[in-house]
Amino acid sequence: MFNQIPIVIYYLRSIVLKKEFIMSLQPLVKWAGGKRQLLDKLLELKPKKFKHYYEPFVGGGALLLELAPIHATINDSNKELMFVYKCLRSKRLFKKFYKACKEHELNHSEEYYYQVRNMDRKKTYKNLTSYVKAARCIYLNKACFNGLYRVNSKGHFNVPSGKYEKVHCFEEDNIQKLHKYFLKRKPVILSKDFEEAIKTAKAGDFVYFDPPYDVVADQSFTSYTVGGFDRKEQERLRDVISDLTKKGVYVMASNANTEFIRDIYKDFHIHIVEAKRMINSKATGRGNVEEVIITNY
């Protein structure tokens, strides 16, 4: 009977740890393609059990934060955004990041927005520390027009001001919960190409891919970073998913419901779902659209 004690302690501990993070974490950024409206469907379709969670196109991390997994690797090619997550994971950086965000809130005006926005046009930008870039990223996300993240061909952030009188970088309760989660779980945080970011995935792990969507003629928002994501990239992603499938990794991916996507994923399970599109430069572009959730299980 006594040799059962460590097992009982292990289970009790995992119940306590899980409970601690059932605390509704919300994304810190408003991100194009954010998955909050698809969450129910994603939760229904995810594998019941998995080991390590990977999210290689994490953006605002709606699914990551809903699952709050114990072991996770998150990645996005957007370096400024990943600095934000790094600040959440470190006590030292978090304090500085938090203070810098509060300063942005205090200084906010139309003129100040453009000063901060144009920082990346200066040669000195690359020398700024990660928490300064992270706080700038959050401030711009909250103060710009419609929470867009768009850069021009030189990689300069070019979204106009949202013309808000006051700007709040975050909800106090949420940022503290996020910090607590990141500090405790210490997820691996990368800023690489998606193919590199999943190299360590093994059988029983779960990867959720939420790439920039296949572009349908009149909706061409793909400028998250310089580079874009064309159909060759979509095919490269499909090939990565095929390789992960051979390894026994669970994969779920979202995309637009286009003929091209249905064709390249014809050997997988395709679930058609309805989603509300939240960000589009034209107000008329908002409404219900069909999307697909692809699974290999």
Would you list the DSSP string of 13-67? HHHHHHHHT-S----SS--TT--GGGHHHHHHHS-S--SSEEETT-TT-HHHHHH
Query: Using CB under 6 A, which of 57, 94, 97, 181 touches ligand SAM?
Result: 57
**34 binds ligand SAM per the rule CB under 6 A:** yes
Q: Which of 140, 22, 23, 9 has the alpha carbon at shortest distance from 81?
A: 140
CB of 142 to ligand SAM, least distance (A): 15
Q: How far is CA 291 from CA 33, 41, 67, 175, in A?
A: 11, 11, 21, 30
User: 33 — alpha (psi -120 to 50), left (phi > 0) or beta?
Assistant: left
Side chain identity, residue 78: N
**161 binds ligand SAM per the rule CB under 6 A:** no
**54 binds ligand SAM per the rule CB under 6 A:** no
Site string for ligand SAM, 235-274 (x = CB under 6 A): ----------------------------------------
Sorted by sequence, the CB contacts under 8 Å of residue 19 that are 6+ apart come out as none
Site string for ligand SAM, 77-106 (x = CB under 6 A): xx----------------------------
194: enclosing H helix or E strand: helix 194-197
Segment interacting with ligand SAM (CB under 6 A) among 43-51, 58-66, 123-131, 156-164: 58-66
Angle, vertex CA 33, rays to CA 258 and CA 69, nearest 5: 115
53 and 168 Cβ atoms separated by less than 8 Å: no
Q: Which two tokens stand for residue 122?
A: 């200066």
**225 binds ligand SAM per the rule CB under 6 A:** yes
Query: Using CB under 6 A, which of 25, 35, 255, 294 touches ligand SAM?
Result: 35
Query: Using CB under 6 A, which of 21, 28, 33, 177 touches ligand SAM?
Result: 33
82 versus 100: smaller Cβ distance to ligand SAM:
82
**69 binds ligand SAM per the rule CB under 6 A:** no
Contact set with ligand SAM (CB under 6 A): 31, 33-35, 56-57, 59-62, 75-78, 193-194, 210-212, 224-225, 229
